[in-house]
Amino acid sequence: MALIDIAYKKARELVKANITPYGMTASVKHYVQVWARDLGISSLGALILNNKEIDEGVRVSLSTLAKYQSSRGAIPNYVSAQKKPVISYGIAGCSAIDAPLWFIINCYYYFKMRNADFIKTLSTNIESAMRWILCQDSNEDYLLEIPENSDWRDLFFYRHHVLYDEILFYAAVRAYDEMAKELSLKPIRISNKIKEAINTYMWINHKNFEKIKKWEFEHKIHGVQYYERYAIIFGNIQFYPFYLPYITMSEYGCECDTVGNTLAILFGVCDNEEKKKSILEYIDNSGCNEPYPLAVLDYPVMQGDKRWLPWLAKTHLNLPYQYHNGGIWLWVGGVYVSALVKCGMTEKAGLELEKLAKGGKSGKNEEWEFNEWHHKKTGKPMGSAHQLWSAAMYCYAYNAVKNGNVDVFQNW
């Protein structure tokens, strides 16, 4: 049996091992809670498996998250998988911005892949979650305002307009609108404007400056204008071959956030073939896919960078080439392989899938741990073992390579 097929079998087993009576845990060995973002990401691969027990695990997880939704619509960051659960909405005083985003995307995926009748029972929760999300766009410029530590990078400094979250914003609104009729919800119809805003503000080249000015005039954007900021913070920069990871009032990230950029392709935000080719070539040329796919940054934020903060070294997690600061995350590798498939690069995707399988096989104590993350320089497996999203997104990537498409997102 080929390595990629063995990896698929092992990944399926691990997905099933994370099922509890309260939902699917993020890691049966460590993160014994139902995490909204982990579930949202993992459900892409879990529902591909066509297994009734796993389908039920996803359904129960969605029900658990919906049960503990806040009165204003926030979805819990996590709910512990126990009879008397511990509920958390986020860390550092911020609600997890990506929890309701992934919740809606997850509901949509279940709606398309499985049972629309079940999702209809969550229509009020979906509507409330979307209302909460829209309030995070306080100046109504079609981009969310993101606090630090409020998404999957919960120990990093990205903030204000963060690529990963804006991509999910687009996907959640589009998903909501596609479900609206059957769920008796009023469609929002702003997904195209969100997509245009991302491509206007976060893909930088010299042609965009006047486009920004025109966009702001046409849409009467409130507050200090981006056009004025861009003239200051970007200066004579002509082009980046990828979407910026974040932009604020006074600064921006110039590293490549591979999470946001690959999701931009998978979820259809990347609006032309030239951009897709540029992103995927840059990831390959920068070595983000070595030794396993995929390092989440092309290069880490180093001590001495003006953005370095002492808490980045908390418990030594975010030292350079580790964790959120340039470490390798296998679930992101699954998104990357799927993005290659969506762009028709099936041969390349197959090669990357084999490397992803090798990453899943590695382990700190035994083979096939599908660890949380790996050190970029050494390839050493780090973090918790038996991670749901690492295994589930391997399954999603495997299915994409075998079938030559990314199911419901192929035409996004």
pLDDT of residue 224: 47
Residue with tokens 């104590």: 365
183-226 tens-digit pLDDT:
999 999 999 999 999 998 899 876 666 666 666 666 655 544 55
pLDDT of residue 233: 55
The domains located in the chain, with CATH, are: 3-203+240-409 (1.50.10.10), 204-239 (no CATH)
Residues listed for the chain: 412
pLDDT of residue 209: 63
Q: Which long-range contacts (CB under 8 A, 24 or more apart) does 319-323 make?
A: 321/295, 321/375, 321/376, 321/377, 322/373, 322/375, 322/376, 322/382, 323/155, 323/373, 323/382, 323/383
pLDDT of residue 223: 47
B/e letters for 267-292, b = 16+ CB within 10 Å, e = fewer, are bbbbeeeebbebbbebbbebebbebb
CB 111 within 8 A of CB 119: yes
- Which residues of the chain carry a pLDDT beneath 50? 223-224
pLDDT of residue 51: 96
pLDDT of residue 306: 84
**Residue 40 φ then ψ, to 5°:** -60, -45
51-96 tens-digit pLDDT:
999 999 999 999 999 999 999 999 999 999 888 889 999 887 789 9
Rounded to whole angstroms, the Cα distance separating 120 from 111 reads 9
pLDDT of residue 303: 87
Q: What is the pTM of this model?
A: 0.95
263-272 tens-digit pLDDT:
999 999 998 9
